[in-house]
A = this chain, B = another copy of it.
Amino acid sequence: MAEYTELSTLGEFGLIKHLTKTVELKNSSTLKGIGDDAAVLDYANKKILVSTDMLIQGIHFELAYTPLKHLGYKAVTVNASDIYAMNGTPKQITLSLAISNHFSVESLEEFYAGVYLACEEYGIDLIGGDTTSSKTGFCISVTILGEANAKEIVYRNTAKENQLICVSGDLGAAYMGLQLLEREKTVFQGDEEAQPDFSGYEYILERQLKPIARKEIIEQLKEKNICPTAMIDISDGLASEIMHICKDSGVGCNIYEEKIPIDYQTFKMAEELNMNATVCALSGGEDYELLFTAPLDQFDALTALAGVSVIGHTVKESEGCYMTTRDGNTFELKAQGWSNFTSDIEKNND
């Protein structure tokens, strides 16, 4: 049986010290990390990128089927994704947690192991935070800082007409992973002997539980001297994010259903659940892939990149935002996202 040490045995300051004792600052921009009223950073002549995301138990994750290490990893990843979506490099995070006193020290260690793994992967220093008790659910708030040279920063509102629309990786898988977990949830909560059946669906599960921010796409683009004209990360589904770029940039778009990258497991799961895989890609969310626009003359360079798909192009704003389906019909894109405050899946990365 797993060890269980009550949080109260360490006290608040002791707990923080225990959980952060292995932190070694790796970035030269981090002058002072945890341990004072504020961290101290020096970005010299670089610009500072700041973003924040909150994950709430029962809304963004279910502890019943989310391993804490994965959750810690995901909390950092969804923030790092925002910095990459600005064409920047993540450097520091603060991490605030509200936790029930039913949590054990060991379970928090698991969570922090995931945080540190992600910090390692993305080159991030943990520089501060706040740990408090919660009378209700587990609440995670991460703020991330990243750097970029002024000229390299890519906004949402700078796409032009007649440019390529590209996405990294594949879409809809995280949402299908969530549907699978929800279906098997009864197994977790019910009979202890029963085991949920995930065979053949490992990829979509991983996409839901341990999403990855697309650092290497940004690196590839830099290597090839391709600078996106506008960029956003896909946290709310492709449709919603394309609409953001188009609306903010004052352009329209045409995308092609057959060009949207969708994994085999996503298709298979969608079929099993009588859902449309394209709808999942358009509205599913939590893919954390990058959506960007680029000049037409970069077509060859872009299609040569591993993990990048050209899915359409921008048009005049007056022509609207449309998708051409496999059978040649067109329909207008609508940002689904979540449309009311009772929805279970929702995100906001302002």
User: A interface vs B, CB < 8 Å?
Assistant: 6-8, 11-13, 15-16, 31-32, 34-43, 47-54, 56-60, 82-83, 85-86, 88, 92, 94, 96-98, 101, 127-137, 139, 141, 143-146, 148, 150, 153, 155-157, 231-233, 248, 337-343, 346-350
- CB closest residue in chain B, given A129: B52
CA distance A161 to B85 in the complex (A): 50
Q: Which residues of B contact A12 (CB under 8 A)?
A: 337-338, 341, 346, 348
- Report the nearest B residue to A81, measured CB to CB: B37
Q: Can you list 12 A-B contacts (CB < 8 A)? A: A13-B348, A16-B350, A37-B85, A40-B153, A43-B43, A48-B48, A52-B129, A54-B97, A56-B98, A130-B349, A135-B136, A136-B137
CB-CB under 8 A from A155, the residues of chain B are 32, 36
- Residue pair B337, A13 in contact (C-beta under 8 Å): yes
Q: Are B137 and A50 in contact (CB under 8 A)?
A: no
Q: Which of A36, A60, A88, A340 has the most CB of B within 10 A?
A: A36
Q: A136-B137, A143-B143, A346-B12 are in contact. Are A233 and B37 (CB under 8 A)?
A: yes
B31 and A51 contact, CB distance less than 8 A: no
CB nearest to A11 among chain B residues = B339
A31 touches B47 (CB 8 A): yes
Which among A86, A133, A146 has the highest number of chain B CB atoms within 10 Å?
Answer: A133
- Indicate whether A146 sits within 8 Å of B38 (C-beta atoms), given known contacts A12-B338, A13-B348: yes
- Tell me how far the C-beta of A136 lies from the nearest C-beta in chain B, rounded to whole angstroms: 3
Which residue on B lies nearest to A248, using beta carbons? B35
Residues of B within 8 A of A8 (CB): 339-342
- How far is A56 from B82 in the complex, measured between Cα atoms in Å? 26
DSSP majority for the A interface?
A: mixed
- Residues in chain B near residue A16, CB distance under 8 A: 348, 350
Cβ–Cβ contact A133 & B32, under 8 A: no
Report B-chain residues with C-beta under 8 Å of the C-beta of A135: 56-59, 136-137
Cβ of A39 and Cβ of B51 under 8 Å apart? yes
Given contacts A13-B337, A39-B49, is CB(A132)–CB(B31) below 8 Å? Answer: no
A226, chain B: closest CB distance, angstroms: 19
Q: How far is the CA of A15 from the CA of B341 in the complex (A)?
A: 10
Cβ–Cβ < 8 Å partners of A49 in chain B: 38-41
Q: Which residues of B contact A36 (CB under 8 A)?
A: 86, 155-157, 232, 350
Kindly list the 5 A-B residue pairs having the minimum CB-CB distance in the complex, ordered from nearest.
A136-B136, A141-B141, A8-B340, A143-B143, A38-B51
CA distance A49 to B37 in the complex (A): 9
Contact: B350 with A130, CB < 8 Å? yes
Given A40-B153, A41-B48, A86-B40; A58-B101 close (CB under 8 Å): no
